[in-house]
Structure 1
Amino acid sequence: MSAPPAVSKEVERRRPALPSLTGARWWAAFAVFLLHALVFLPVYPFQKSELFRHIHEVMPMQLGAAGVTFFFVLSGFIIYWSFKPGSSVPRFYWRRVLKIYPTHLVAAVVFVVLASVPLHRLVLWVPNVLLLHTWVPKWTTVGGLNVPSWSLCSEMLFYFSFPLLLPLVRRIPSARLWWWLGGLLVLILAMHTGYYLWVDGPKGIANTFAPRLVPGDDSPYYELHASQAWFRQPDIPVSPSYWLSYNFPPSRLPEFFLGVLAGRLVLEGRWRLTNVRWPLVALAVAYAATWVVPVNYKMSALLVGPMTAVVATLAARDLAGIRGLNSSPRMVWFGNISYAFYLIQFPVMVLVTRFFIGGKQFGLLSWLGWAGLCLVLSTVAAAGIYHWVDDPLMRRFSGRRAKGGARVDGAGAAVTLSAPQTKPASAR
């Protein structure tokens, strides 16, 4: 049953801020950081030990992939939430470019300098800078330059397609939204099953995302993705099924539109669940199941349904005035810097590896220390990028500002709030 019409119209008119979704962004970015700190900090001989192998079994590749899946669903939800009827499509595209590109370019320049990227090899950096690199199944481009930026290629497709497909989304009868949401979930499973059955790639259940190691027990000065040996490779093939299921932007498009449909469900009062415990339990069960399925299903197929429920429930809690950890001012601030944190973490790891780790030997405790240093430096750098680049540019050039001072952003995005706007809905 839908919410009473008066309530739905008021929510439709105000599109209130959703601070819990902003705060939750930090946990998704932090999950990506944990995985990257494990595999992208070349701390030898620890990274070659049995202890490392056991730790990597606990923090496998799907840990970071879960964070990316959250961002993709969240993007669809927030983009739908913020795009009111009559909104300007050109302005929408301009805001998305303004949100994505400045921070992306800052992180790319930092990486180029720290890794001494040979700029004469255009294939290493031009596709990445233009956010086209994951459309080609070659590690020279997919894994080139700043590795985390691969997901931005999908985001750009999401943003381009949204105004084109929005009329179709709005034509769906409200009573059939659940059927369409279920249909997208079936489509995702069918697509990944097709990749598994008919596309070349690993068929086992092993967690195959592991560090690329070099000989010796001394830590290298560069993780392989940032090394001159990597940059010299003329071509590095990537598993077709892995690329299609994880990196290829059209394969991730249904996840974005799951978020769009969830946004409609919440906006129209059809998502009534406000207890986030059950979506989190479902997410934990789905995550546990990723240990026993082939790689094509590990990265998003099993997680995207529960992740959509988490996003919708957090939004419903905000609308109901339920204040939790993620809606606190501190978590909203962390959520605001999470996009910059996501992009700058790998360049920071390149810096720490080059100037502190390289040429030495370390064990578990040292890895924990270096990972902690990277966390602090990445957070400080992200705060600087957000407060001195992202936020000023958005304030100056993005145009429309939401009522009450809240500004709607999106880049794996959520609602960005100034400090006074972090009160629960019931307090406003």
Structure 2
Amino acid sequence: MTRPPKTLPAPVATETPDQRHPALPSLTGARWWAAFAVFVLHALVFLPVYPFQKSDLFRRIHQWMPMQLGAAGVTFFFVLSGFIIYWSFRPGMSIRLFYRRRVLKIYPTHLVAAAAFVLAAGVPLHRLVVWLPNVLLVHAWVPKWSTVGGLNVPSWSLASELLFYLTFPLLLPVVRRIPTRKLLLAAAVLVIVVLALHAAYYLWVPGPKGIANAFAPRLVPGDTSPYFELHASQAWFAQPDIPVAQSYWLGYTFPLSRLPEFYLGVLTARMVLEGRWRNTRLAPPMLALVLTYAATWVVPVDFKMSALLIAPMAAVVATLAARDLHGIRGLNTHPRMVWLGDISYAFYLIQFPIMVLVTRFLIGGGQFGILGWTGFALLVLVLSTAAAAALYHWVDVPVMNRFAGRSAPRTESGPIP
């Protein structure tokens, strides 16, 4: 006699196994803007266009587009991930099917992007520490260069996503026990926990204590553009160890530190589903997000990356969902924006390998200013979008349709950390 598969509890007691929640095109379209913010930061830092990156003009531009630009996009995706996971699963889904779908959603695209980077950068495969932790998505758990900064750099966030998905079936019963009237209080507690956690990192963990931006290009001597950005160079792969600042690693890349952001998204989804979030005016949460983002210029590094942004980011996500439920359409609901949102996960992962290729064959050995960087950045944007579309339509969709048990819901367009 075989045991029936364990199933996930229903998100709302009145739902039936065949019931699906409405699609949320605004959230899908908004994914593109978050991915684009990450791209802009990466293009500025990871395209080694010399002497532009050594100029006063670059330093002024980088002051206005620092690390927290890309980090804000990551925060959006972590909160959104919790929201969508809760929103999209159906009552009665087996835990085994849930895990299978999550693995299939993450790994195929990740492995293709990793292979593209290996080929583009000529990664020494005999050094397993350089690439194996990354391929397995365990690299963000150890604060070493070979695990955090090795291989395809943007993939660090997928280690957090895997933790989110692993814990979701285990903690969902706890989430479900929170009374509807106390959801906002529970969300506030999570925000306070995050702020307290980052304060502890700032006070008691070694690392930068100032308010200056801590993320800048790794420059090499000379005014001629190198053929490889340092994170994709043989010199980088050959180094035995480059530890990162402990407080930076704990606050930004350590998966457990990012777990509350996911569950803030889960609680936000419950608020929308159970009628506790009714605001459809986007201006107030967007203004709050702009103000907290501006505040990142004057706080220590530990608070720049996510801590100040998670509350207004959750409010933006909830408001976009509420607007969809009320039939309010905007730019993000346009079919082209929804398509860009669908391919945004692949775009997020393939952008760095494309930058490595463009650097190796077009930038390396030359000298360029701001116009040169702009042209190369636009080229990478076009190539990355085309490659992401190919990955989404020829890898992600066929894999999900063939092996995930059934066609993915429209809202389930993949993780981006």
How far the C-alpha of 1:406 sits from its partner, in A, is: 3.8
Residue 375 of structure 1 is aligned with which of 370, 381, 388?
A: 381
Unaligned runs of 5+ residues in structure 1 are: 1-6, 414-428
Residues in 1 aligned to 2:415 and 2:220: alpha-carbon distance in whole angstroms: 35
Show CA shifts across 1:372-406 (max 9, x none).
0000000000001101101111111111347xx74
Give the match for residue 268 of structure 1: 274
Residue 260 of structure 2 is aligned with which of 247, 254, 268?
A: 254
Superposed CA RMSD: 1.6
Unaligned runs of 5+ residues in structure 2 are: 1-11
Indicate if the aligned counterparts of 2:35 and 2:344 stay in contact, CA closer than 8 A.
yes
Q: How does 1:303-318 map onto structure 2 within 5 Å?
A: 303-318=309-324
Give the match for residue 237 of structure 2: 231
Give the match for residue 43 of structure 2: 37
How far the C-alpha of 1:88 sits from its partner, in A, is: 1.0
Give the match for residue 423 of structure 1: none
TM-score by length of 2: 0.95
Give the match for residue 338 of structure 1: 344
| Residues matched between the structures, number | 405
Verify: 1:16 aligned to 2:22, yes or no: yes
Residue 184 of structure 1 is aligned with which of 182, 185, 190?
A: 190
Give 3-state SS (helix, strand or coil) of 2:218's partner. coil
Verify: 1:79 aligned to 2:113, yes or no: no
Indicate if the aligned counterparts of 1:62 and 1:299 stay in contact, CA closer than 8 A.
yes
Show CA shifts across 1:187-231 (max 9, x none).
000000000000000000000100000000000000000000000
How far the C-alpha of 1:10 sits from its partner, in A, is: 7.9
Give the match for residue 140 of structure 2: 134
How far the C-alpha of 1:304 sits from its partner, in A, is: 0.7
Residues in 2 aligned to 1:75 and 1:310: alpha-carbon distance in whole angstroms: 14
Residues in 1 aligned to 2:239 and 2:326: alpha-carbon distance in whole angstroms: 54
Q: How does 1:190-201 map onto structure 2 within 5 Å?
A: 190-201=196-207
Residues in 2 aligned to 1:384 and 1:353: alpha-carbon distance in whole angstroms: 22
Aligned AA for 1:115? A
Verify: 1:392 aligned to 2:398, yes or no: yes
Aligned AA for 2:373? W
Indicate if the aligned counterparts of 1:60 and 1:209 stay in contact, CA closer than 8 A.
yes
Verify: 1:320 aligned to 2:326, yes or no: yes
Residues in 2 aligned to 1:320 and 1:355: alpha-carbon distance in whole angstroms: 50
Verify: 1:241 aligned to 2:237, yes or no: no
Verify: 1:329 aligned to 2:332, yes or no: no
Give the match for residue 408 of structure 1: 412
Indicate if the aligned counterparts of 1:148 and 1:343 stay in contact, CA closer than 8 A.
yes
How far the C-alpha of 1:84 sits from its partner, in A, is: 2.8
Q: 1:257 to 1:216 in 2, by over 3 A?
A: same
- Identical amino acids, percent of aligned pairs: 74
Q: 1:378 to 1:11 in 2, by over 3 A?
A: farther
Aligned AA for 1:146? N
Indicate if the aligned counterparts of 1:401 and 1:408 stay in contact, CA closer than 8 A.
no
Verify: 1:62 aligned to 2:68, yes or no: yes
Residue 365 of structure 1 is aligned with which of 371, 376, 379?
A: 371
